[in-house]
Amino acid sequence: MSRRETWTTEEFGTSHTGAVAVVLADGTVPAPVYFDSASGGGGEAVSQWHLYDGRRPRVPRAAALRAVCSCGWSGPDHLLDWEAIGEQDFVDGGDEQADACERDWDGHTVQVEETTVPLPETVTTLLERLEEEIGRLTKTSPVAAVRAARRLERVGYWVARGTASDLDTAQAAVHLGLNEDAARKLMARFGGWSPYR
């Protein structure tokens, strides 16, 4: 696993982790860049897009950037104009394309949200109001805000317990916009059972 900048949303978490991927001129995605530590005792693999400027030994030059998501989705290629980039640091010269990738991924998460099970408008309104009230309560009495959150957690417990025998993890994952592992862990957390049962 290599280190790189990623994006997530509160609702979908690691089920939809976005990042900027590098595409080479031949259409392939390069291997992570490996940096030896100064002491020679190991190193780190890094996939930050701005490292692929072709200016370091054994580091190829990116031809394009594209958004990718941990769910397997990928966005369109955003071609890099190296003549325009010139001697600029790639983090500045490729910033416009990297920003376009983040917007593509934002659009992807909007599409994911549109496929989730809709909440009734009355529930959505109540939840928004409750979030606001708990936010205000956090400023005046943080412990009371935690108590309120705990009460909501208990509601989740009884909902999960009540649907445990009817719930198909694969279907729940689709309706929640999560991968199956995350859906199973969410239901297990709410229901107070092992996710490995």
Q: Which of 17, 6, 97, 18 lies closest to 53 in space, CA to CA?
A: 97
Average pLDDT in the chain: 90
pLDDT tens readout for residues 78-120: 999 999 999 999 999 999 999 999 999 999 999 999 999 999 9
Any residues with CB less than 8 A from the CB of 46 and at least 6 apart, and which? 2, 3, 4, 32, 33, 34, 35
CB atoms within 10 A of CB 78: 19
What single-letter amino acid sits at 1? M
For residue 2, pLDDT over 70 is answered with no
Q: What is the reported pLDDT for 74?
A: 97
193 secondary structure, DSSP code: S
Band of residue 68 on the pLDDT scale cut at 50, 70, 90: very high
Band of residue 46 on the pLDDT scale cut at 50, 70, 90: confident
Instruction: Provide the residue ranges of all domains of the chain, joining segments of one domain with +.
Output: 6-115, 121-191
For residue 167, pLDDT over 80 is answered with no
